[in-house]
Amino acid sequence: MGYIEPGTEVQRMYCNRRNPAHRTAVLKTLKLTRLRRVAEGAAAAMLVARPRQGTFMRWYRVGRNIERLVDGMSANPTFDDLSPDQQEVLCAEFLRTPMAGAHGLPTLASLTVPTGRTMRDIDIIGVTATGGQLVAQVTYSNPERVTPKVEALRRFLPESTCVLFCNCAMQQVYDGIILVPIRDVFNHFTADLLGKVWLERSFSI
């Protein structure tokens, strides 16, 4: 990975395809500077955020991960460095720990569907330690700006425990939905030894 100077023009590289043989392929290329080599299997959290289609695209879900790696930023990662995908993983893993119970939240025993990309406006669905269903949404927005997300969670009431991790000032219950400050989750989770390891590995290459 590396840095592309502003105004860099796209160059075309011509080569032969493997299949069908002898057919010419045209590759679009951009010149990179300040190169950093990333070993295969490293920075997995970053690669998960990679767009699935397109030639040159913005990685909206990658946060500042690439910037940190290219610029060699050595300072400890903060919450603001987490990509949306990493925020979802953070909250799901937090729910698995005794810290969740200490905050009045059910403990997540297992996921029933993959975290994120589950359905529109829902990020976490799983089984609690007592056999109930837990449904959660993760966002950095303020509560008053996420009305669609609240409405999506409300559909699961009262059969499920519904949690909205968001940028609220304090934990509270709003219309049956538990609002949890997502920055508090980050601070509590990464204060634990394993949480610190998780944070380090999430940004390592």
Directed axis angle between helix 84-95 and helix 182-191, to 10°?
A: 70
Asked whether residue 61 carries a pLDDT value surpassing 70, the answer given is no
Least confident window among 7-11, 15-19, 78-82, 89-93: 15-19
pLDDT at 149: 81
Residue 2 CA to residue 67 CA, distance in Å, equals 9
Q: What is the pLDDT of residues 117-130, one digit of tens each?
A: 656 778 999 999 99
Show the DSSP H helices in 44-146 as ranges. 44-48, 65-71, 84-95, 98-102
86-201 adopts what CATH topology? Trna Endonuclease; Chain: A, domain 1 (3.40.1350)
pLDDT at 119: 67
CB 160 within 8 A of CB 153: no
Residue 74: band (very low, low, confident or very high) from pLDDT cuts 50, 70, 90: low
Whole-number Cα distances in Å, 196 to 43, 45, 49, 186, 202: 16, 15, 21, 10, 10
pLDDT at 118: 55
Asked whether residue 81 carries a pLDDT value surpassing 70, the answer given is yes
pLDDT at 142: 79
Nearest one of 54, 63, 166 to 121, comparing CA atoms: 166
Give the mean model confidence (pLDDT) for residues 75-99: 88
Torsion of CA 30, 34, 86, 94, to 10 degrees: 170
CB 186 within 8 A of CB 164: no
pLDDT at 125: 94
Give the rounded percent of residues in the chain with a pLDDT score beyond 90.
45
Q: What is the pLDDT of residues 127-174, one digit of tens each?
A: 999 999 999 999 888 767 777 788 889 999 999 999 999 999 899 998
pLDDT at 43: 61
Tell me the pairing of strands 172-174 and 160-166. Answer: unpaired
pLDDT at 59: 77
The pTM of this model reads 0.73
Asked whether residue 184 carries a pLDDT value surpassing 70, the answer given is yes
Domain spans of the chain?
11-80, 86-201
Nearest one of 62, 150, 12 to 136, comparing CA atoms: 150
Most trustworthy range by pLDDT among 45-54, 115-124, 139-148, 180-189: 180-189
Q: What is the pLDDT of residues 96-123, one digit of tens each?
A: 999 999 999 999 999 998 887 656 778 9
Residue 45: band (very low, low, confident or very high) from pLDDT cuts 50, 70, 90: low
